[in-house]
Chain A
Amino acid sequence: MAKLIISPAPHVHSGDTISSKMIGVFIALVPAYLVGLYFFGLGALIISVTAVLSCIVFEYLIQRFMIRGALTITDGSAALTGLLLSFNLPTNLPVWIVIIGSLVAIGIAKMSFGGLGNNPFNPALVGRVFLLISFPAQMTVWPKPIPFNTSYLDAVTAATPLAILKGQFSEIPSTLDMFLGNMGGSMGEVSTLALLIGFVYLLMKKIITWHIPVSILATVFVFTAILHYANPEAYIATPVFHLLTGGLMLGAIFMATDYVTSPMNPRGMLIYGVGIGIITVIIRVFGAYPEGVSFAILIMNAFTPLINKYVKPKRFGEAKRG
């Protein structure tokens, strides 16, 4: 008999690991990625591979040479940050800008706070917003969706529906096109259908719960419906238009639900989701930027510790007494 191990209970484990959760999210992202590859072709391939590789490399370099700590690149979180960053970028973005975005996401937003689990803000969104502020010109032209596109930097550009709303002259795509993803936009955000398939997968695998995505989408729907039906001339866009455009679906399903930066219990998640929904609509409708999901999520990320402190889960014995 080998040496016996003595440790406190429990003596069994679910077998769940960080990597298995990350792999689950990767699988959920596959449909949206395929749509991105279909409409944006070569450019989508280049920026996604660049972002994933550079995120892994930056995390490795920082852990190896600056922190000199344990390597965590195999847990899949760095690769996921890279992929999510690329989902939020236009596919005609030069490689060097993508690399800068990855450095900001991994180096500043993640590793400088202590690595996975300690970052207050969603790293991919910090990377994206940094690029949006630093390179506004490159970050706000999107290639036109053309099936099996082989162009990259030379792609024909198209305005996004939200930009059209803010004054860029062009024709708004049909609702069906917007639902399927046949419109200008960042690589991974265009197809509502593909993102919803990923959402169903995440729910089935119990990787996330419905609370955050549903509360965000419901809030945006209700808020924009009130505006639109109260004054259709001033607020042309219908609530359905708002749900299908921009980064809302991607943000609600994949960015706002990031474990590390979102609240820890269902009540808190609902507050957080409603907050993101309200801020998104305010920026979209009243702000200068056409799109506000990234900012809304980052702002609510900042409130997450506060929500966790004051919003507690439903305690046993609280609901039903005697």
Chain B
Amino acid sequence: MGGIHPKGHKLSANHSIQEVTLPPRVMIPLGHYLGAPSMAVVSAGDVVKVGQLIGQANGHISANVHASVSGVVAKIDGHVDASGYKVPSVFIDVQGDEWLETIDKTPEIKRECTLDAKMIVKKISESGIVGLGGATFPTHVKLTPPPGKKAEVLIINGVECEPYLTCDHRLMMEKGEEILVGVSILMKAIGVHEAIIGIENNKKDAIAHLHKLAIGFDGISVMALQVQYPQGGEKQLIDATIGRQVPSGGLPLDVGAVVQNVATAFAIYEAVQKNKPLFERIITITGKSMAHHGNYRARIGIPLAHVVEQVGGVPGDTGKIVAGGPMMGRALSNLDVAVAKGTSGVLFIPAFESARKNMQNCIRCTKCVVACPMGLEPYLLMTQSERSMWTEMESDRILDCIECGCCSYSCPSNRPLLDYIRFGKTNVSKIVRARLVRKN
């Protein structure tokens, strides 16, 4: 239901993944995922190697952080991330590129996994793996079902429905077998015998490639999906692949599903089979006015400016720089922001497309209602938000909103629907949390 069909602009789809050189200094964020930031376990002056633990998970929803470069810790300080807030970060002055000896750097693909489910989850947790689709939810938490819930099927997200982004596409093309090994490890970890890799039809080569490879793996199938945004949303993907809808306020496990991104599956392969913690990821650098586009393997903590320089610098007509895709990414004020675990790309939007147009009256055309993939009424939620009608907003299911932006995208009056809905959602969440605290 719902959804939109924005132009794909997958300009970098045929550019194979390239390595980003190392900058003189990296700033590795300790808290770039949901939940608590991790605690630094190194201090200024320490010498670290690539893959060494520098941040210890702190609490249940938190993940380890590892050094992505070798060198000397310069300081531990706040650094502004893509959200515009300062997060505690470890600054490391790069010296050489010395990896921990325990990491297997050989290119051979290791298919056999001897670890049992418990050990796999432990390994994933130690390696600091988070959901690489963008939400950066710690993966080990998702793989530990609450008592009474049982996973039936693993769904792998290869949808990449955001326009422009191609990092997952390239990864599927170049690391297909590794991804499939990662998927079978995940299946073992949650005890399911079926895994479905969902890929949109605009990536026919990836569908064919993984389909061919999947023949060699038990229980893994590839499903071609029609192109529609936001099909990469967890709930939308479950509906598209197995036809089950997660109830309001529920979790994927309520319908027996666990969803992981293809990039996460690849990171799990590397962690479990190659003993390599998560300290690098693939990012897409693209934009209509870019002379060159590309997909790059970048270490976490590298300033975006350094990556962009390698692609030829910021295009002259740039009016907006977005970390992530155009639908859900965040606009940046500068490129000092470091590559984080959730950074899927950098998009340069030309000035003429950057500014929002003037808002006009709502003409009640129903475009936002039709576009909403959650079956909400964005026009109504916006009005309620403007008037602080939190109780009404809650009963109109504001908390179901996944913030995909389909409403604002489709509004002919250019109304900032999602801005107001986010504002309302924040307030309603506060009220709901306060109520829960009182109850307990």
Q: Do chains A and B stick together as partners? A: yes
Question: Residues on A close to B: CB < 8 A?
Answer: 1-2, 4-14, 16-18, 20-21, 72, 75, 77, 114-118, 209, 259-262, 264-265, 308, 312-322
B221 within 8 A of A: no
B363 touches A117 (CB 8 A): yes
The minimal Cβ–Cβ distance linking B326 to chain A, given in whole angstroms, is 4
Residue of A nearest to B372 (CB): A313
B400 within 8 A of A: yes
Complex contacts, B256 vs chain A, CB 8 Å: 322
B349 within 8 A of A: yes
Complex contacts, B1 vs chain A, CB 8 Å: 314, 316
Complex contacts, A7 vs chain B, CB 8 Å: 320, 331, 356
Complex contacts, A116 vs chain B, CB 8 Å: 360-361, 363
In the assembly, what is the distance between CA of A320 and CA of B326, in Å? 31
A313 touches B375 (CB 8 A): yes
A8 touches B418 (CB 8 A): yes
Interface size on B, residues (CB 8 A): 77
In the assembly, what is the distance between CA of A322 and CA of B411, in Å? 33
In the assembly, what is the distance between CA of A312 and CA of B374, in Å? 12
Complex contacts, B413 vs chain A, CB 8 Å: 18, 117
Residue in A5, A75, A321 whose Cβ sees the most chain B Cβ within 10 Å: A5
* A-B contact list, 16 entries, CB within 8 Å: A4-B332, A6-B331, A9-B329, A9-B330, A10-B409, A16-B411, A117-B413, A118-B361, A209-B370, A262-B364, A264-B366, A265-B377, A316-B373, A317-B246, A320-B243, A322-B244
Q: A14-B410, A317-B247 are in contact. List 10 more A-B contacts (CB 8 A).
A: A6-B332, A9-B418, A11-B329, A12-B163, A20-B412, A117-B364, A262-B364, A315-B248, A316-B375, A318-B245
A264 touches B329 (CB 8 A): no
A117 touches B361 (CB 8 A): yes
The minimal Cβ–Cβ distance linking A110 to chain B, given in whole angstroms, is 11
Q: Chain A interface secondary structure, helix, strand, loop or mixed?
A: loop
Over the window 343-361 of chain B, the binary record of Cβ atoms lying under 8 Å from chain A Cβ atoms (1 yes, 0 no) is 0000101010111110011
The minimal Cβ–Cβ distance linking B311 to chain A, given in whole angstroms, is 15
B369 within 8 A of A: yes
Residue of B nearest to A17 (CB): B412
The minimal Cβ–Cβ distance linking A197 to chain B, given in whole angstroms, is 22
Complex contacts, A9 vs chain B, CB 8 Å: 322, 326-331, 403, 405, 418
B364 touches A4 (CB 8 A): no
Complex contacts, B318 vs chain A, CB 8 Å: 1-2, 4
Complex contacts, B361 vs chain A, CB 8 Å: 114-118
In the assembly, what is the distance between CA of A180 and CA of B360, in Å? 39
B326 touches A12 (CB 8 A): yes
The minimal Cβ–Cβ distance linking A305 to chain B, given in whole angstroms, is 11
Complex contacts, A4 vs chain B, CB 8 Å: 318-321, 331-334
Q: Chain B interface secondary structure, helix, strand, loop or mixed?
A: loop
In the assembly, what is the distance between CA of A116 and CA of B408, in Å? 19
A5 touches B354 (CB 8 A): yes
In the assembly, what is the distance between CA of A115 and CA of B354, in Å? 29
Residue of A nearest to B374 (CB): A316
B98 within 8 A of A: no
B410 touches A5 (CB 8 A): no
In the assembly, what is the distance between CA of A186 and CA of B256, in Å? 60
Question: Given A8-B422, A18-B413: A2 and B330 within 8 A (CB)?
Answer: no
B409 touches A13 (CB 8 A): yes
Complex contacts, B354 vs chain A, CB 8 Å: 5, 11
The minimal Cβ–Cβ distance linking B1 to chain A, given in whole angstroms, is 7
B314 within 8 A of A: yes
In the assembly, what is the distance between CA of A262 and CA of B357, in Å? 26
In the assembly, what is the distance between CA of A322 and CA of B242, in Å? 10
Question: Given A5-B354, A264-B379, A317-B246: A10 and B408 within 8 A (CB)?
Answer: yes
Complex contacts, B248 vs chain A, CB 8 Å: 315-317
Per a CB cutoff under 8 Å, which of A12, A14, A260, A316 touches B235? A316
A10 touches B405 (CB 8 A): yes
Residue of B nearest to A309 (CB): B380
Complex contacts, A18 vs chain B, CB 8 Å: 360, 363, 412-413
Residue of B nearest to A19 (CB): B412
B316 within 8 A of A: yes
B414 within 8 A of A: yes
Per a CB cutoff under 8 Å, which of B245, B327, B334 touches A320? B245
B191 within 8 A of A: no
In the assembly, what is the distance between CA of A261 and CA of B84, in Å? 42
Complex contacts, B374 vs chain A, CB 8 Å: 315-316
B96 within 8 A of A: no
Question: Given A17-B412, A318-B375: A265 and B364 within 8 A (CB)?
Answer: no
A117 touches B376 (CB 8 A): no
B174 within 8 A of A: no
Residue in A12, A117, A259, A315 whose Cβ sees the most chain B Cβ within 10 Å: A12
Complex contacts, A114 vs chain B, CB 8 Å: 361
Complex contacts, B320 vs chain A, CB 8 Å: 4-7, 11
| CB-contacts of B297-345 with A (<8 A) | 314, 316-322, 326-334
B45 within 8 A of A: no
B151 within 8 A of A: no
The minimal Cβ–Cβ distance linking B290 to chain A, given in whole angstroms, is 14
Residue in A1, A4, A21 whose Cβ sees the most chain B Cβ within 10 Å: A4
Over the window 389-422 of chain B, the binary record of Cβ atoms lying under 8 Å from chain A Cβ atoms (1 yes, 0 no) is 0000000110010010100111111101011001
A13 touches B414 (CB 8 A): yes
B366 touches A315 (CB 8 A): no
The minimal Cβ–Cβ distance linking A39 to chain B, given in whole angstroms, is 33
In the assembly, what is the distance between CA of A108 and CA of B236, in Å? 45
A317 touches B245 (CB 8 A): yes
B78 within 8 A of A: no
Residue in A9, A209, A314 whose Cβ sees the most chain B Cβ within 10 Å: A9
Residue of A nearest to B313 (CB): A1
Shortest 5 CB-CB distances between A and B: which pairs? A10-B405, A117-B361, A315-B375, A16-B412, A12-B326
Complex contacts, B319 vs chain A, CB 8 Å: 2, 4-5
In the assembly, what is the distance between CA of A27 and CA of B372, in Å? 28
Complex contacts, B327 vs chain A, CB 8 Å: 9-12
In the assembly, what is the distance between CA of A16 and CA of B408, in Å? 11
Residue of B nearest to A321 (CB): B247
B30 within 8 A of A: no
In the assembly, what is the distance between CA of A315 and CA of B254, in Å? 17
B322 touches A11 (CB 8 A): yes
